[in-house]
Structure 1
């Protein structure tokens, strides 16, 4: 789908080979599938993000299941462009352009979190994780409540349809 140009495309058969290519070559763009054998796209992404020189390379993450990406990387996506599968040439070129633009924008370097302990003996990292987990649990519980209400509504509709069908059969 790429237009003719003065570039070379290298394709990796799995995440391990892809990460090795990324570390060895000077790429001007990385197209990363989120689901890969041996090492997932998520793991490759984490490796890219951990190395400042690799973080500067424009990145397009592709997946046919956006929910798997957003589960690990919440929107809005910063530092990379997401491209949902299937896609056409226009979408591909748009994603590449957007990734190039995002790569030029300044981004804070990931900073390691210090691990001082609080009065309970928990580290700051553990406290942040607990707060984050509590927030995530609350958000999930809210989603569950909404989904349960939808399920109850669907059960009611199904019961009505079954009753209607039974009446028509008689």
Structure 2
């Protein structure tokens, strides 16, 4: 049995089989889920190496699965390919450009699938563990230390506030420049 797992979450058995048939041959197992809830439970229990997630699913939508994945570091670092035949519905919830996952529009061919997987693997690396969290955590607390996550979020807020202050300053300089030119 392989230690590499690919989870395909789609309510269409045809799509699940199609994806499975198009995947390059390799040393991995393909797990299948027919709805979002089953898929999310498999993510939690199997910790796959790649997730292929349909956006429109019964029981728990792909959007809801995505939101749950984003709450935990060890899940959001799993490469994710979002699939949908209706890109506009995905963009409505998650604006482009998609920062942390690859998107593939149905129907797709094998080349498009392989490219989306490569893109997902690259984007998953954006979820690197911040230095402060890595320096003070143990393997047991890596994924459940909410105080570390809170510290990271506070640091991000501080960074965003600093950037906003800089932008406000630049905007006032621009307005002053424009007023000066108009006079």
TM-score by length of 2: 0.58
Q: Which runs of 5+ in 2 are unaligned?
A: 1-21, 131-148, 155-183
Q: Which residue of 1 aligns with 2:9?
A: none
Q: Which runs of 5+ in 1 are unaligned?
A: 113-170
- Counterpart Cα distance in 1 of 2:57 and 2:113: 19
Matches within 5 A, 1:2-13: 2-13=23-34
Larger radius of gyration: 1
Bigger strand share: 2
- Counterpart Cα distance in 2 of 1:10 and 1:68: 26
- Counterpart Cα distance in 1 of 2:26 and 2:113: 15
Structure 1 residue ranges (4+ consecutive) displaced by more than 4 angstroms after TM superposition: 106-110
- Counterpart Cα distance in 2 of 1:95 and 1:36: 20
Match of 2:93 among 72, 76, 86: 72
Instruction: Say which SS state the counterpart of residue 30 (structure 2) adopts.
Output: coil
Deviation at 1:24, TM superposition (A): 0.6
- Counterpart Cα distance in 2 of 1:87 and 1:17: 24
Q: Which residue of 1 aligns with 2:61?
A: 40
Q: Which residue of 2 aligns with 1:29?
A: 50
Q: How many residues align?
A: 112
Matches within 5 A, 1:1-170: 1-106=22-127, 111=153
- Counterpart Cα distance in 2 of 1:3 and 1:55: 24
- Counterpart Cα distance in 2 of 1:106 and 1:54: 10
TM-score by length of 1: 0.62
CA shift digits 1:92-137 (9 cap, x unpaired): 000000000111124687838xxxxxxxxxxxxxxxxxxxxxxxxx
User: Aligned-residue CA RMSD in angstroms?
Assistant: 1.7
